[in-house]
Amino acid sequence: MGETAKGILAVWTDLDPAAEPEFSAWYNREHLRERVEVPGFLNARRYRALSGGPRFFAAYDTESPAVLSSAVYRQPPARHTERSRRVFRSFRDPVRLVGALIGEAGAGTGGLVLTVRCHAQPGRAGELRAALADGLAQRLAEHPDVVALAVAGWLAVRWSNLRRQEAAAIATLRHEDQIRTRTKQLRAWTEALAGELRALGVRCLPSETYFFLADFAPHDAAALAARLIERDILVKPLGDARLGAGYMRVTTALPEDNARFVAALRELL
């Protein structure tokens, strides 16, 4: 990393294999040049994974993290070309992180790079940053095979839709108390809804989550679901011959929506 670098943009992505030749040509001859021409960008590098994935990684040093929210950066000319749009569509599971450098050790740029993303436990982000920047970075940089090392505190994260599970895991770590409270609330709503259906003679299987299986036999679940859809109530008949035609997956909603669902069933059953 350059000595004056205060910001970093890091991007990991997989790629549609058929698009790799165009991707490489676009990145080397168009995208990298376009990026480093943005005021405040210091350098750009890209790497290919030796094994596993994501297969591609790119890093950019900037004068400050603010460079990555500037008007010039957010509207680069190449982003509007048909070639750029075609390449962007070939990305698979991209992760884009904007960060501020909080620690560096060593000097130079190596031909190989190892990237590690760490997530602190709730309330311990400062402790983790200090441990990485003040201790671990220096010790790793002293290894004879390590040229340089940088530690960044991420300021913004952009996940693709296919990375929602990882984003949810991070949210769980950061907001564990709120999620536990919400989970308990959902469970209570689910149990109340199952109780209402049992009162109507519907067999409801035990569940530890916010949905459950319900057997509406002798009624046909698919026919019942079609009549509920007419009332703007969406449910999912299973259509599994091994279980029988009466089985439906029921997912809890807000109490007022659950009440509307139960009222409709009282009329239809």
pLDDT surpasses 60 at 158:
no
CATH dotted code for 178-268: 3.90.1150.10
Query: How confident is the model over 52-105, as pLDDT tens digits?
Result: 888 999 999 999 888 888 888 877 555 567 888 888 888 888 888 888 887 777
- Can you read off the two tokens belonging to residue 176? 């564990």
CATH class, range 7-174: alpha beta
The C-alpha atoms of residue 228 and residue 255 are separated, in whole angstroms, by 17
Q: Is the pLDDT of residue 170 over 70?
A: no
Regarding pTM above 0.85, the answer is no
In sequence order, which residues have a C-beta less than 8 Å from that of residue 152 and are 6 or more positions away?
Answer: 8, 10, 97, 99, 100, 101, 102
pLDDT digits (tens, 9 = 90+) for 216-240: 999 999 999 889 988 888 787 888 8
CATH 3.90.1150.10: which residues of the chain? 178-268
Cβ neighbours of residue 193 closer than 8 Å, sequence gap 6 or more:
250, 252, 258, 261, 262
CATH 3.30.70.100 in the chain is located at 7-174
Across the strands, what pairs with 113?
Answer: none
**Per-residue pLDDT tens over the stretch 115-144:** 888 777 777 777 777 777 666 777 777 788
